[in-house]
Amino acid sequence: MRADILTSVLIELNGTSTDIEASGIISTDGLMIAAALPAGMDEDRVGAMSSAMLSLGDRTAQELGRSTLEQVLIKGDRGYVLMTHAGEEAVLTVLAKPNARLGLIFLDVSRAAQSISDML
């Protein structure tokens, strides 16, 4: 039941912008809680990498005096990966197109992460 509600949050997030290609909610230990990913994308791999990157980002932010981590943004030739905390125990990962309007995506992702945090 909860997974269905969380999946609906992801589907709504993906629908807010044509620039968002996929999203997932991952536990901080790397397990996929809910996903709206393209066919053929490995949920376990997305989960493990998201958890590892956010953990590394947290440590980097603290060690380099940047205080609390807000998000991790990775830019590649084929687009962006954005990761942010969704409460204490989850990570929201979003894949976006290369020409995405990041300001709008940041806003939508922030709202979705708060909604997810409230549900978890």
Domains defined for the chain, CATH in brackets: 2-119 (3.30.450.30)
Summarised one tens digit per residue, pLDDT across range 59-117 is 999 999 989 888 999 999 999 999 999 998 899 999 999 999 999 999 999 999 999 99
Task: Return the SS3 of 89.
Answer: coil
CA–CA distances in Å: residue 13 to residues 49, 55, 56, 106, 112: 21, 24, 25, 11, 7
Summarised one tens digit per residue, pLDDT across range 21-30 is 999 999 988 8
Contacts of 9 (CB under 8 A, 6+ apart): 25, 34, 112, 115, 116, 119
Q: Residue 1 pLDDT more than 80?
A: no
* Other CB atoms within 10 Å distance of the CB of residue 76: 8
CB 112 within 8 A of CB 6: no
CB 101 within 8 A of CB 19: yes
